Amino acid sequence: MKIALYQGPGKINDIEAAWAHLAERAACAKTGGADLLVLPEMYLSGYNIGAEAARSAALVQTGLAPARRIAEANSIALVFGYPELVGEQVANAAALIGPDGTLLLNYRKTHLFGALDRDMFKAIGQEFAVAELHGHKIGLLICYDIEFPEPARALALAGADLLLIPTAQMQPYTQVARHLIPTRAYENQLYIAYANHSGSDDGLDYVGLSSICGPDGAVLAAAGLGEELIYATLDKPHHAKVRETDPLLRDRRPELYASLIR
């Protein structure tokens, strides 16, 4: 499976323009041979938009119909962040849509980052689900979630081969993009695609530095600071060899770790 990852500024507070931009990016990624396109956190609306704008832009899941049509028209799977309306609350969500337009996963951010997140969203997310695409088991996380070891480990233990992480990582947290993402990939022996914004958004400066990392921690593709579309291919035989050579998950001793959940 070949992954394309889009890093860029997207469209701010303009959902219709975002759908058009998504269609363009999907067509471009498909032309590049990709089976899956991953885009940033809150891609459809912009991230640093405030509570009122987030609520105004929030969609129920049926509102994702344009993305489902784009996926089907281009025969490409899509992952992107968006504000989701759940009852009267707004969640920071990410959707995985299959190449036939099926909604395979809808994940809600479980760890909110400071006042910036908490002013806009509720921590509605409660589970770490896995879906299958092209023979690979896939899990979703969003931005700050990957900075805690437990969510990634929970998905690895659930059988995930690949974590897709829409993010809105800002200055000064370059260490997350540069060091933590390859480490999470290695310690959980899975692929990670980490899709960030670029540029600035109402005074928030994004670090860019999106990447696709392999299960041995190798950086397979990396973006710089600006708008980019990067690619990498998942290699099942290599993945199996990594897990056999360094059986980190198999050699765990969970009976010793009970105190970690307190």
Q: Which of 2, 24, 72, 143 is catalytic?
A: 143
Which residue stretches of 113-233 are H helix? 114-118, 149-157, 174-175, 181-188
* Residue 41: active-site member: yes
* Residue 109: active-site member: yes
The b/e string for 92-113 (b: 16+ C-beta within 10 A; e otherwise) is bbbbbbbbebebbbbbbbbbbb
Q: Which of 11, 16, 28, 41 is catalytic?
A: 41
The b/e string for 155-176 (b: 16+ C-beta within 10 A; e otherwise) is bbeeebbbbbbbbbbbeebeeb
Q: Which of 11, 109, 147, 213 is catalytic?
A: 109
* Residue 84: active-site member: no
CA dist., res. 6 & res. 74, Å (int) = 16
Active site residues per annotation: 41, 109, 143
